[in-house]
């Protein structure tokens, strides 16, 4: 039935990034067949296009993603829109279509020159090595209220569905996933891990960062997964995760609240994380 379908909306700007986001979506739904639906959306500002080249532009935008969908054997629906307000349109489409997950890449205006620039969502204007050093050493708070740039914040603020913000560090496969649990509120992440285990056989390392996994709710969720897929979850207790552990992973999944606190505190992680999927479950956070 329509109701039980798991629906993912992938919104991309750059077609190459679209391919990676599609791969991520595919890993969440691969074995669900007709019980899942993946829609891939590309929006264009209407001042850039005239009627004549619009079809050509649409074709060029989707070609790499359609090609990837064939390689993955993933059925997709493509959605192309020309709009005045891309950042409002993305969550609007997600809300109206009642999607279970909206997947977006980190904003396209990100300064790509340095890895840290990419991870932390700096725009070109504010990258300044001295200032960054001060931030890392705690001398200055660079993030007034949000670790995201304006465009991502708007999407988060307007979206009524869960949003996954993906930071790509050359993701090629999703075999090994690292998921830190800092807080009881992070329990919702477990259902994403469960999807990745059952659809793509991923191996998951859960870090119990603050002794929260002893909590019965989280323990029970993990136990259920272990029953269905033995030997796919590895629970780590120590608060300090070494570089090596992080470097072996393909993807880190983290809640938006924990990501914010990670940026405020555990800055040493940030340079060593694999690709990151930051998930915002409850709305209007940003």
Q: Of residues 84 and 254, which shows the higher confidence score?
A: 254
Name the 3-class secondary structure at 32: coil
Q: What is the pLDDT of residue 29?
A: 97
Torsion of CA 84, 124, 256, 193, to 10 degrees: 90
Question: How does pLDDT run across 72-130, given as a tens digit for each residue?
Answer: 999 999 999 988 888 899 999 999 999 999 999 875 433 333 444 445 544 433 444 44
Q: Of residues 85 and 8, which shows the higher confidence score?
A: 8
Q: What is the pLDDT of residue 244?
A: 81
DSSP-derived secondary structure letter, 74: -
Q: What is the pLDDT of residue 271?
A: 72
What predicted TM-score, i.e. pTM, was given to this entire model? Answer: 0.83
Contacts 24+ apart (CB under 8 A), 141-149: 141/264, 143/260, 143/263, 143/264, 146/260, 146/286, 147/120, 147/121, 147/259, 147/260, 147/263, 148/107, 148/121, 148/286, 149/107, 149/109, 149/110, 149/121, 149/123
Report the candidate in 183, 174, 180 with the shortest Cα–Cα distance to residue 253: 180
């Amino acid at each position: 039935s329509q109701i039980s379908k798991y629906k993912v909306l992938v919104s991309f700007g750059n077609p190459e990034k679209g391919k990676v986001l599609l791969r991520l979506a595919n890993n969440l739904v691969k074995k669900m067949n007709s019980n899942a639906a993946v829609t891939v959306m590309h929006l264009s500002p209407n001042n850039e296009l005239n009627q004549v080249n619009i079809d050509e532009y649409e074709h060029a935008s989707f070609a790499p993603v359609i090609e990837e969908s064939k390689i993955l054997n993933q059925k997709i629906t493509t959605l192309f829109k020309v709009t005045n307000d891309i950042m409002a349109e993305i969550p609007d489409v997600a809300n109206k279509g009642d999607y279970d997950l909206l997947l977006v890449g980190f904003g396209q205006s990100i300064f790509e020159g340095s890895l840290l620039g990419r991870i932390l969502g700096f725009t070109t204007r504010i990258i300044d090595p001295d200032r960054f050093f001060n931030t890392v050493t705690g001398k200055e708070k660079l993030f007034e209220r949000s670790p995201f740039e304006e465009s991502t914040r708007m999407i988060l603020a307007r979206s009524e569905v869960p949003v996954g913000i993906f930071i790509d560090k050359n993701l090629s496969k999703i075999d090994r996933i690292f998921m830190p649990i800092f807080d009881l509120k992070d329990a919702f992440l477990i259902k994403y891990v469960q999807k990745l285990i059952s659809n793509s056989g991923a191996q998951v390392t859960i870090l119990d960062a603050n002794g929260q996994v002893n909590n019965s709710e989280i323990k029970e969720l993990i136990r259920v997964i272990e029953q269905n897929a033995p030997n796919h979850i590895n629970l780590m207790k120590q608060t300090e995760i070494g570089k090596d552990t992080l470097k072996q992973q393909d993807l880190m999944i983290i809640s938006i609240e924990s990501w914010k606190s990670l940026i405020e505190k555990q800055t040493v992680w940030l340079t060593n994380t694999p690709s990151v999927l930051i998930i915002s479950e409850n709305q209007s956070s940003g």
